[in-house]
Amino acid sequence: MKTDIEPVLEKHPAASRDQLIPLLQAVQQEEGYLSKEAVIRIGRRLGLSASKVYGVATFYNQFRFQPLGKYHITVCRGTACHVKGSLSLLEAVQNELKIEPGQTTRDRLFSLETLACLGACGLSPVMCVNGEFFARMTPNKARKLIHDLRREAASQ
Ligand code: FES
């Protein structure tokens, strides 16, 4: 999903360096991630080098540098989910997709992230695909879900 970020930049006409985080958030909201081009243009807007902008953005794990996949998977790593085995769930997803949190598969089918709590602790461990919750997940259920999603994508 590539969009032009000019309208977003124009909404911050008086952007100063202390506007860097809000501007990064706004651009990510618009594009789904922070592209190289976006980082450069934000830097120009604020009089900062691209490496400075990138350095700040990588400090916060809310920012992504790759576009989201068709299926965006979130694995909860909050306390309740951790106690119920979310680490092995996450490892199963990572092994199946061969990516780390914050990354997108080469075929752009899957992206992965972790969150501290998805607000559904009673259903732990929880994972989410494009906003749909999957409760009491296990590594096997997660692998099956990913296989099903691959099949679904192949049939479209
Ligand atoms: S800790 Fe996972 S939903 Fe709250």
Q: How many CB atoms lie within 10 A of CB 156?
A: 5
Mutate to test the pocket of ligand 1, among 118, 128, 134 (most ligand atoms within 8 A of CB): 118
Q: What is the pLDDT of residues 15-73, one digit of tens each?
A: 677 889 989 999 998 888 999 999 999 998 888 999 999 999 999 878 989 899 999 99
Mutate to test the pocket of ligand 1, among 126, 127, 136 (most ligand atoms within 8 A of CB): 126
Amino acid at 55: G
Q: Supply 92's token pair.
A: 């199963």
Confidence (pLDDT) at 13: 67
Report the predicted TM-score, pTM, of the whole model to 2 decimal places.
0.80
- Give the residue, 121 or 16, on which the prediction is more confident: 121
Contact indicator for 139, 92 with CB cutoff of 8 Å: yes
Q: Is the pLDDT of residue 74 over 80?
A: yes
Instruction: Point out the least confidently predicted range of 2-16, 43-57, 95-109.
Output: 2-16
Residue 127 in contact with ligand 1 by CB distance below 6 A: no
What distance in Å separates the CA atoms of residue 133 and residue 126, rounded to the nearest whole number?
A: 7
Confidence (pLDDT) at 118: 93
What distance in Å separates the CA atoms of residue 111 and residue 68, rounded to the nearest whole number?
A: 5
- Give the residue, 4 or 99, on which the prediction is more confident: 99
Which strands make up the sheet holding 110-115, listed edge to edge? 110-115, 71-76, 127-129, 132-134
Q: Report the run of H or E that residue 113 belongs to, with start and end.
A: strand 110-115
Atom of ligand 1 nearest to the CA of 120: 3
Q: Please state the rounded mean pLDDT for residues 126-144.
A: 97
What distance in Å separates the CA atoms of residue 42 and residue 39, rounded to the nearest whole number?
A: 5
Confidence (pLDDT) at 14: 66
